[in-house]
A = this chain, B = another copy of it.
Amino acid sequence: MAIHECVQLVPIFQELAEPQLDTIESIVRHHHYQAGETIFSADDPLDQLMIVSAGQVKVYQLAANGREQLLYLLQSGEIDGEAALFENQRRTSFGEALVPTDVCSIRREDFQNLMQQYPSISINVLNVFGKRLTQLERQTTSTATESVEARLANYLTETAASLNTNTFKLPLKKKDLATFLGTTPETISRKLTRFEQLGLITQKAGKVIQINDADQLLLTE
């Protein structure tokens, strides 16, 4: 079994050498979760940085009215717990394993020491946060100003682009996709059917979508 199983694949530790990775490994705690299991909940004290070393984690929030919002779908190598950097901060989001998942955690104090010792780590974390901020800004703008149809069209073309193929399997159930896009499963069904009737996409078995005309899809309003 690899010693640095989780630590060595994480982008934020990229520049570090072997002995430093050993140090980190010694203060990291490993956890395993089954699909569907809760990794952290809103009332947990927020005192750890989480690193997803294998699997996928849904991170979502509850609104005042009880509806939930999927914020991130963390992949292997991604981190969560940005607010873990401050004192007296409480978590407002929930984490749930989407598939069997391995997570490493580092206590806030330890991570703060690490950043003091190896400044490259904080620069790397800054990059992660910057990208996440940019993404969230776009998402906020999108949900606040665009129709569900436009948001779904965007999601489909972006997913296709990131996978570099026109035919792909939706990585989420419709219910999760709905809470991500700020809509309902019913509406997603209807919109996909409509896209298909317009010839813009083709729906195949097992959540597989084929995009026929990405340009036209994006013109949907």
Given that A142-B63, A144-B69 are contacting pairs, would A85 and B130 also be in contact in the complex, using a CB cutoff of 8 Å? yes
Contact A141 B86 (CB under 8 A): no
A133 to chain B: which residues have CB within 8 Å? 82-83, 129, 132-133, 136
Contact A141 B63 (CB under 8 A): yes
Chain A: interface size category: 35 or more
Contact B141 A71 (CB under 8 A): yes
Chain A interface (Cβ within 8 Å of chain B)? 61, 63-65, 67-69, 71, 82-83, 85-86, 89, 92-93, 115-116, 119, 122-123, 125-127, 129-134, 136-146, 150, 154, 181-182, 218, 221
A-B contact pairs, 25 of them (CB 8 A): A63-B142, A64-B146, A67-B145, A67-B146, A68-B145, A71-B137, A82-B130, A83-B131, A83-B134, A85-B127, A86-B130, A89-B134, A92-B138, A93-B137, A115-B123, A116-B119, A119-B119, A122-B122, A122-B123, A132-B133, A140-B143, A143-B143, A143-B182, A144-B181, A145-B182
